[in-house]
């Protein structure tokens, strides 16, 4: 995800990295060539003058803008819901760590704050990899012991399995007399929150915007853009290519942005910065546990959010 400081209005006109313009250049170039041809032949195709004028295109463009606005709102709702879920994950991870460090008599190597924090960090990174469809083994290897790693590596839904291991840690602490039933119930409440977060993220990633709706809007945008030069050539003449490219950039860019943020857990420039959020959660829970060096610091620096 690209996060920039607020820049001068003039510099914003020339921002390249993080915008969708680089991906749109081939399409805009095609529309520019079409507009030049239409202007050269004055809107005539094989001796047939296409009878278009700006009036119907203006009305149709207004309706199309409304549909694009709805499409962008739907995509941004998914993006913002994903961000709220990961914000809740940060809060829940801190709450669980705080609960663990207040327990007494945690002397067993299998029931220690460090052991719990490692499991919690593994859950966060496993969730990121599940949402992105990437391999979690390297991140889990430095956070889980050998037995836990075998269990997680053999599972399809690794975050859910690691959440079970967290619950087993609490049960072992209960059996060792480190917490009572009330404290165990409070842990379970936060585990339920983790489950809700996991389910919410899976709902977003497994339920995209209906494909037929996307196809309809995509076709409509490009048909409108290809018809636009025929409706403007009589009134604008050689200004037609410039105006067509500008209008097409607006419509096509809105569609491209909606497609990009529809799946907020990817690696596009405007998707959520999951790598950074994982590192932040990892660092904060280790710091709360009194560990100055977080495992996340061993990660390579040239990561893609």
Q: Where are the domains of the chain?
A: 81-207
Residue (of 31, 67, 68) closest to 232 by Cα position: 31
List, in order, residues 6 or more apart from 158 with CB less than 8 Å away. 126, 129, 130, 136, 140, 152
| Burial class of residue 61, CB neighbours in 10 A (0-12, 13-18, 19+) | middle
**What is the Cα Rg of the chain in Å?**
27
On the question of pLDDT at 80 being above 90, the answer is: yes
Confidence (pLDDT) at 270: 85
Confidence (pLDDT) at 8: 65
Q: What confidence tens digit (pLDDT) does each residue in 162-190 have?
A: 999 999 999 999 988 888 899 999 999 99
Residue (of 106, 66, 134, 84) closest to 275 by Cα position: 134
Residue 242 tokens, joined:
């410039």
Confidence (pLDDT) at 188: 95
Confidence (pLDDT) at 268: 85
Q: What confidence tens digit (pLDDT) does each residue in 132-158 have?
A: 999 999 999 999 999 999 999 999 999
List, in order, residues 6 or more apart from 23 with CB less than 8 Å away. 256
* Helix, strand or coil, per DSSP, at residue 227: helix
On the question of pLDDT at 18 being above 90, the answer is: no
Architecture of the domain spanning 81-207: Up-down Bundle (1.20)
């Amino acid at each position: 995800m690209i996060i920039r400081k607020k820049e001068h209005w003039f510099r914003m006109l020339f921002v390249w990295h993080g915008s969708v313009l680089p991906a749109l250049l081939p399409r805009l170039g095609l529309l520019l060539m079409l507009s030049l041809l239409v202007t050269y032949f004055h809107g005539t195709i094989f001796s047939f003058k296409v009878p278009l004028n700006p009036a119907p295109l203006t009305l149709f463009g207004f309706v199309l803008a409304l549909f694009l606005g709805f499409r962008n709102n739907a995509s941004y709702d998914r993006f913002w819901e994903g961000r709220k879920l990961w914000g809740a994950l940060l809060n829940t991870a801190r709450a669980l760590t705080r609960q663990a460090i207040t327990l007494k008599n945690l002397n067993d190597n299998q029931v220690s704050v460090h052991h719990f924090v490692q499991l919690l960090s593994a859950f966060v990174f496993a969730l990121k990899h599940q949402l992105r469809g990437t391999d979690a083994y390297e991140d889990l290897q430095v956070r889980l012991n050998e037995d836990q790693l075998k269990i997680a590596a053999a599972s399809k839904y690794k975050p859910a399995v690691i959440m079970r291991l967290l619950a087993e840690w609490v049960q072992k602490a209960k059996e060792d007399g480190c917490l009572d039933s009330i404290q165990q119930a409070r842990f379970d409440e936060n585990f339920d929150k983790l489950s809700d977060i996991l389910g919410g993220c899976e709902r977003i990633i497994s339920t995209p915007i209906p494909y037929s709706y996307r196809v309809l809007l995509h076709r409509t945008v490009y048909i409108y853009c290809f018809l636009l030069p025929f409706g403007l050539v009589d009134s604008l003449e050689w200004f037609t290519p410039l105006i067509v490219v500008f209008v097409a950039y607006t419509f096509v860019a809105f569609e491209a942005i909606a497609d990009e943020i529809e799946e907020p857990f990817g690696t596009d420039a405007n998707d959520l910065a999951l790598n950074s959020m994982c590192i932040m959660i990892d660092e904060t829970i280790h710091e709360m546990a009194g560990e100055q060096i977080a495992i996340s610091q061993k990660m390579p620096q040239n990561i893609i959010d």
